[in-house]
Amino acid sequence: MFKEVLEEAKEWAKILHCSYVSDLNAIIDNGGISDLIRVSEALHEKKIANIADRITGDLKNNRLILIAGPSSSGKTSFAQRLRVQLRVMGLEPVSLSIDNYFVNREDTPKLPDGSYDFESIDAVDIKLFNKQLTSLMEGEKVIIPTFNFKKGIREMNPENVRQIALNQPIIIEGIHGLNEKLTSAIPRDHKFKIYVSALNQLNMDENTRISTSRVRLLRRIVRDFRTRGRSADNTIELWPGVRAGEEKYIFPYQDDADVMFNSALIYELGALKHYVMYMLAEISPEGKSYEKAQELLAFCRNFKSIYDQRDIPCNSLIREFIGGSCFDVS
């Protein structure tokens, strides 16, 4: 599936006459970026609509929709856009947050260095999650917990009751979505699993591909600076740990997905450069991530900036990172 999606992305880049960085820069210089943005976004919309069609075509066996992907792949915006497309099909999907099922902080697994491993699947109360998920799918009333992140404990509010109809799809988005352990109480043939990845279509030249993880890192730098006040230095410093978690908790399960969605946008590096350059330039030579920042700066200088971003729609996946999204994705 991975190879097929990558080949499709390459073929689409050829159709758009934008296979290389030099092609993208020429389109920006020649005033054609607005059209490229519109066509790229239309392709995303078509792909998401097709996935919604597959789900509704066999809703009985696709009622539980599980979405997973590595950091900054755009899975949160994707989940929101899929929800819209399912609404178009006459359905009323509901979302269930795994965050509310974290175990109390004192019970959270720890890493070898003694810090909490919040990305471990054992940081989730699997037993309670499956019990309530099963009850919801059977139409029963359930008191949904709320995790108090300040206190590090799970709280139960008797007023937080949820009940859903038997024909309502349930969307669950999170890093463990493809791991059968997360939803072990539900038979595999009653789940529809989606893997979201950002397989960049552009190449530097005929022999040099652009690293997918590098683009995701740039996305994360921009988003974390904007939404969490986190410096680029800090984001880069944390990145190896994020990547280690992906290798352990996400990538081993990607082959179990029913479909893969490619969240990469062929124009996005031009949009990201507009923001990320000054964030990276602020890292001083004394900063822990200075060398990596210089490497990323050199990479970004290959791209022309897209200064006028009014043509990027508010529901675009890239808006999750650069801001201006109409969805709650912060």
Mean pLDDT of the chain: 93
* pLDDT digit string, tens, across residues 75-100: 999 999 999 999 999 999 999 989 89
**Contact in structure between 171 and 234 (CB atoms under 8 Å):** no
How, if at all, do strands 191-197 and 64-68 pair? parallel
Q: What is the per-residue pLDDT for 3?
A: 79
Per-residue pLDDT at 328: 77
**pLDDT class for 1, splitting at 50, 70, 90?**
confident
Structure confidence by residue, pLDDT tens digits, 262-283: 999 999 999 999 999 999 999 9
How far apart are the C-alpha atoms of 40 and 16, rounded to whole Å?
9
Angle of helix 232-249 versus helix 290-300 axis, rounded to 10: 90
Q: Label residue 54 exposed, middle or buried (CB < 10 Å: 0-12, 13-18, 19+).
A: middle
pLDDT at 4: 85
Stretch (H or E) spanning 209:
strand 208-209
Q: Percentage of residues in the chain with pLDDT exceeding 70?
A: 99
Confidence of residue 330 (pLDDT cuts 50, 70, 90): low
pLDDT at 149: 87
- Rounded to two decimals, what is the model's pTM? 0.94
Could you tell me whether strands 203-205 and 208-209 are parallel, antiparallel, or unpaired per DSSP bridges? antiparallel
pLDDT, one tens digit per residue, over 169-199 is: 999 998 899 999 999 999 999 999 999 999 9
- Position 249 confidence tier, pLDDT thresholds 50, 70, 90: very high
Give the pLDDT mean for 32-60: 96
Residue 305 confidence (pLDDT) above 90: yes
Instruction: Write down the pLDDT at residue 8.
Output: 85
pLDDT by residue (tens digit) across 21-43?
A: 999 999 999 999 999 999 999 99
Mean per-residue pLDDT, 288-302:
96
Predicted pLDDT at 15: 86
Q: Is the pLDDT of residue 206 over 90?
A: no
- Do the Cβ atoms of 266 and 16 come closer than 8 Å? yes
Note the pLDDT of residue 123.
93
The residue type of 279 is M
Q: CA–CA separation, 124 vs 119, rounded Å?
A: 9
User: How far, in Å, CA of 58 to CA of 313, rounded?
Assistant: 31
Among 157-166, 237-246, 313-322, name the most confident range: 313-322
Q: Which tens digits make up the pLDDT trace of 114-137?
A: 888 888 999 999 999 999 999 999
Please, are residues 9 and 15 in contact by the beta-carbon 8 Å criterion? no
Q: Residue 188's pLDDT is what?
A: 94
Any idea what the Cα angle at residue 288 is, between residues 283 and 294, rounded to 5°?
Answer: 50
